[in-house]
Structure 1
């Protein structure tokens, strides 16, 4: 998983470094352990800063330039610098040398050399932004602007929101976009084979985002309503795990006319435990972001809704804390189908042997977690909410589109 960003000013008097910095903060929900920025100066030199830190901790005070690209991720160190360009990538790349010839003939390079479903943004020393979205549309990519002054390309429009920019449209699967100071050019390089990543809808995208023409907040509220149809539970309170699952809980409570409680408060910086690099951080991440509110749970039958479940470690700890504060019952609902297989496309879904849903039956999982019951959104329910079946479901069905 990664967030990528490109900004180009139409006048070289601009310094876009702070726009890149704050834009990356608007994308760090997609990856916060590694970040980097590449800046093009007036003398046509590209400078790079890349560190194993969250975007908000990246030091950029000495960086100045009128165009640049940025990266917020987990496992890779971007941007990569070549003789005449720099590039940031969302997705697995087997051979980075394919980008060496990119600026000479972008269309030919994509058609002949790119064999994986990757999305990227490149910056040339000549002052071009070149962006491409994989033909499946697995990785989101959007185009926007800041008045008539800046062109912006980012994984999600959340990077635009934080700097006051405007979303124009989403880049299509298989589409190549080339921007310089004078024009914007678009080419459909590969035929779209639409297989949108399901994890984007249920977990990855920020709740105020738009992905594949879907308002994420509205979609997740509908997931909560669908969970209520599939699993109506007698309870005293509905609680969503912050931040992603809160809309699920809203939809569920509305549909069944059950009280909705906040349930948790947070200390420290938000940590997305699915993206955490080790077991210790996963546990600490739960303690930092999920501190139960005693009066919201004591003596109550709780419906606890989460967006997904990987190993079950964080959810087990959460349920333990709810029990400790006096929850009478805890019924767990997951706003996605079961995760049973790893993702080869860069989403942080681990090997099958680590996935609790792939190895245990429902009753055993509930017992291991300390829950009274556990249920998952059905595939049919997912299709109903999204409105189509053009989805990558590899981590849920072991059937991959690529």
Structure 2
């Protein structure tokens, strides 16, 4: 039986959300459930929780959304005072129940559970090495490589083992790790993936991918876990071990799309950062129009920012079906052909006869954007001017984001004027890298911008060699260009 298929989003897909809690006075399995519910946007393929009661680790993980995976019976079976949780979207390793996390490795007193967000670029090399040492793998994930690398380290304490493993791992990882009585959290030296620390109840501690999870469970934000930092939490409190790597490389798409708008990163509310992106777009790519429509929900804030800065009234021209979760009902061909109509419904009375500025977070493959523009024009929009908060994405991501292969990236194959024609827009403007950095309000060297610039923060030569075999040359990919043409110069597009 297959699920309901709709075209893959033009936005990149995040990989995972992680959570951890040490709170002897709290119902840690239930708190973990609600935290994972708040982090559902970071992964919708599988969900799991592992708990520890001082003697053993309990574990439950299945395919599906958080609300589908857990029942009262499942939560009641997860006893303990410490827990970690995970929502998964696969980027390394297939989408199957065997790869659902948290992962359990080891036995008895030497057993650990691990939940990982990110992607390890030297995972295959490490897997071969560990396999030669006799470590067996039951999954196809790089997360199991991390867990076994920690277990194989020649040190007596787990903190030392984690530190040793971090010295050998390359790529992106924010992770929570559980023993029978202790919670650990670690973040890669570049800080590619986010991780934060908070307090809960009387003497309890939590870690989470985003601050939005803390409010849902009544926790208080303390600080972000630093790049290269290891946090250890047990009955004695919190201990921190940190080595400063120098360079920072937080994924810029946390600001553009991945994180929820009510999360805070680098002391900045992401909703306000996205509003600023829309304002920068209006300054870089002004146009005469009647309405500004932000594609819901990811570009709602940016659309509001564009409208405010330009003086063009905002409008809710698209209504999103917010219940497009996973389903196991087989669709008919007619339903399958509806495609993006299952996700968005245009408001004809709002759009009819209007010149519309359509603001979206990004264009990756160019699959759904043309259909959204068709929807608006069929609803009577006179013109649709596309404005995009991310610069042209010309390079794939190797750090845990499903950003497509180089061959699939529309900006790697087409110029901005060609993309404009392909998606059927009357004009197209991408936010420049400089405008994006102004909007987020933090130094450029704090971020990974490799998907725009090709400047990767760590070597990815093996992956680049694979791409070279595709024979795909770099296209003219200039951030910040607006392509605009008179109607007479462009062949008519039939809708």
TM-score after normalising by structure 2: 0.75
| 1:154-202: CA deviation from partner (whole Å, max 9, x where unpaired) | 0001111211211111111111111012210011134242111111110
Q: 1:281 to 1:65 in 2, by over 3 A?
A: farther
Q: CA deviation at 1:323?
A: 1.0
Aligned counterparts of 2:198 and 2:234: Cα–Cα separation in 1: 14
Aligned counterparts of 2:367 and 2:283: Cα–Cα separation in 1: 28
Say how many residue pairs are matched.
391
Asked if 1:15 corresponds to 2:70, the answer is no
Aligned counterparts of 1:243 and 1:18: Cα–Cα separation in 2: 28
Where structure 2 has 5 or more consecutive residues not aligned to the other structure, the ranges are 1-14, 91-98, 128-144, 327-333, 459-495
Of the three residues 98, 121, 136, the one matched with 2:149 is: 98
Aligned counterparts of 1:64 and 1:393: Cα–Cα separation in 2: 42
Aligned counterparts of 1:398 and 1:282: Cα–Cα separation in 2: 36
Asked if 1:181 corresponds to 2:235, the answer is yes
Q: CA deviation at 1:282?
A: 11
Q: 1:151 to 1:281 in 2, by over 3 A?
A: farther
Q: CA deviation at 1:131?
A: 0.5
Aligned counterparts of 2:246 and 2:83: Cα–Cα separation in 1: 28
Please show how residues 317-356 of structure 1 align to structure 2 within 5 Å: 317-356=371-410
**2:45 maps to which residue?**
33
Of the three residues 2, 11, 17, the one matched with 1:3 is: 17
Q: 1:383 to 1:283 in 2, by over 3 A?
A: farther
Greater RCO, 1 or 2 (C-alpha within 8 Å, sep 6+): 2
Displaced runs of 4 or more, over 4 A: 280-285
Aligned counterparts of 2:218 and 2:171: Cα–Cα separation in 1: 34
Q: CA deviation at 1:266?
A: 2.4
**2:64 maps to which residue?**
53
Q: 1:104 to 1:285 in 2, by over 3 A?
A: farther
SS of the aligned residue for 1:118 comes to strand
Of the three residues 85, 91, 105, the one matched with 1:82 is: 105
Of the three residues 284, 291, 300, the one matched with 1:246 is: 300
**1:225 maps to which residue?**
279
Q: CA deviation at 1:37?
A: 1.0
RMSD (Å) for aligned C-alpha atoms: 2.1
Q: CA deviation at 1:107?
A: 3.5
**2:177 maps to which residue?**
122
Aligned counterparts of 2:46 and 2:272: Cα–Cα separation in 1: 30
Of the three residues 343, 349, 363, the one matched with 1:309 is: 363
Q: 1:166 to 1:281 in 2, by over 3 A?
A: farther
Q: Is the 8 A contact 1:129 1:180 kept in 2?
A: yes
| 1:10-56: CA deviation from partner (whole Å, max 9, x where unpaired) | 34xx32111111100111111111211111135x2112112221122
Structure having the higher Rg: 2
Q: CA deviation at 1:399?
A: 1.1
Where structure 1 has 5 or more consecutive residues not aligned to the other structure, the ranges are 273-279
Q: 1:115 to 1:369 in 2, by over 3 A?
A: closer
Please show how residues 257-276 of structure 1 align to structure 2 within 5 Å: 257-269=311-323
Aligned counterparts of 2:336 and 2:387: Cα–Cα separation in 1: 20
**1:389 maps to which residue?**
444
Q: 1:175 to 1:281 in 2, by over 3 A?
A: farther
| 1:326-352: CA deviation from partner (whole Å, max 9, x where unpaired) | 111000000011111110000110111
Q: Is the 8 A contact 1:130 1:176 kept in 2?
A: yes
| 1:376-395: CA deviation from partner (whole Å, max 9, x where unpaired) | 10011112222311211111
| 1:48-89: CA deviation from partner (whole Å, max 9, x where unpaired) | 112221122112333232211111121152111022210001
Q: 1:281 to 1:337 in 2, by over 3 A?
A: farther
**1:73 maps to which residue?**
88
Aligned counterparts of 2:394 and 2:39: Cα–Cα separation in 1: 27
Aligned counterparts of 1:121 and 1:376: Cα–Cα separation in 2: 37
Q: 1:98 to 1:314 in 2, by over 3 A?
A: same
Aligned counterparts of 1:115 and 1:282: Cα–Cα separation in 2: 41
Identify which range, 46-55 or 95-104, moves more after superposition: 95-104
Identify which range, 287-296 or 329-338, moves more after superposition: 287-296
SS of the aligned residue for 1:106 comes to helix
